[in-house]
Amino acid sequence: MLQERLGTIQDEIYTCAQCAYCTATCPVAELKGWESYGPRGRMHLLKLVLENDYKANKELAERFYVCTTCSRCEKVCQTDLPLIEIWEDVRSWLVEDNLGPLEPHRVIDASVAEFHNAFREAAANRDAWAGDIELSRKGEVAFFVGCTSSYKMQKLASDSVRILQAIGDQVAVLGEEEWCCGSPLIRTGQRRQIKGLVEHNVEALKNTGAEIVVASCTGCFKTIRDDYPHWYEKKLPFKVMHISQYLAQQIKNGRLTFTQPINQKVTYHDPCHLGLHAGEYEDPRAVLQAIPGLELVEMHNIREESRCCGAGGGVKAGLPDIALGLARTRAEEAEETGASILASCCPFCKTNLSQAIDNEKINLIQKDITELVVEAMGI
């Protein structure tokens, strides 16, 4: 089956110039030190399978699941190949051949099918993060909370809504009607549920009456903005923004101001789904730079050359040692700036980088941008 499927992308496979620009930028290839773990090696493996010189097996599958889909390879590809699309398609074909995904990914798929979230949590507890915050199902802005913020990193959800409400927005949340956005399934090649998830979430968001959908999870943001139109098969009836983009907009129009200084050096990590995938590098920095007292100090690798935190593409769930190895390198780079705070705006980045900081006893505190905004607003 995989060999037949590869016939549909044989032009891309043979277009690959084997120049190794991609492998030189790949964080996993750097960590593992083997050619087959990098993009050039994976393309060569596909060519061998296509030409029947190599039989697809679990070892080959592992080479594709070790990729964080950060997109650094695609950005430097000298022949402009859609490499992330290729990696995700190959993963879906490996799933069809029962060579993928990794076992932890299967657990997530089963959880989404039964509970509509990635953590086997009750749908009735989807709003548990809110505490005493008054929630509405209708509003001018819909906040898509995401599975991780709903159940595991609830402060990110409550901080985000408190900020939006303090700005003066009527904020809608979906509660039990919010289902997993589908990102962990799309990234790991498990596509059987995606169309149903997309159609349900789009209709639920439409029912809020909102024209803008805001997400503080970069995975949810990228999936709804970029992947949903393909599966929904028509234009989305709302605009999708990451919360950092929305907050930067409100700072510009004077609706968001800060009263409490944060007299700290802060360095910023670009999440792959917001930076490399969506091209958004300036708005998160604009939010940080608007906070009085805060000094933004940059790492060596930023924006288009930013290092991946290691958590993306299902790697955190499926290959946690590799995820932490990548996070350790990034956290050490952040430490070199002399900053006391490592900021980002993605729950997966926060989780992985925080664990690396703790494990290596690095002298940094990891904070989401929303946490800093709440402090600076004094709310």
In angstroms and rounded to an integer, the radius of gyration of the C-alpha atoms of the chain is 21
Indicate the pLDDT class of residue 46, thresholds 50, 70 and 90: very high
Q: How far apart are CA 64 and CA 101, in angstroms?
A: 10
Domain 2-96 has CATH 3.30.2010.30: no
Intrachain domains 103-250 and 257-377 with the same fold: yes
* pLDDT tens digits for range 90-112: 999 999 999 999 999 999 999 99
pLDDT at 79: 96
Q: How far apart are CA 208 and CA 216, in angstroms?
A: 18
* pLDDT tens digits for range 12-45: 999 999 999 999 999 999 999 888 999 999 999 9
Domain range summary for the chain, segments of one domain joined by +: 2-96, 103-250, 257-377
Q: Using DSSP, state whether 372 is helix, strand or coil.
A: helix
pLDDT at 54: 85
Considering only the top CATH level, what class is 103-250? alpha beta
How many helices and strands in the chain, by DSSP H and E? 21, 8
Burial classification of residue 115, based on how many CB atoms lie within 10 Å of its CB (0-12 exposed, 13-18 middle, 19 or more buried): middle
Three state DSSP letters for 30-60: HHHCCHHHCHHHHHHHHHHHHCCCCCCCHHH
Q: What pTM, to 2 d.p., does this model score?
A: 0.94
Single-letter code of the amino acid located at 308: C
Residue 353's Cα: distance from chain center in Å? 14
Per CATH, the number for 257-377 is 3.40.50.11810
* pLDDT tens digits for range 343-366: 999 999 999 999 999 999 999 999
Q: Is the pLDDT of residue 1 over 90?
A: no
Q: Is the pLDDT of residue 56 over 90?
A: no
pLDDT at 234: 87
Q: How far is residue 34 from each of residues 24, 40, 42, 71, 100, measured CA to CA in Å?
A: 12, 11, 11, 19, 21
Indicate the pLDDT class of residue 53, thresholds 50, 70 and 90: confident
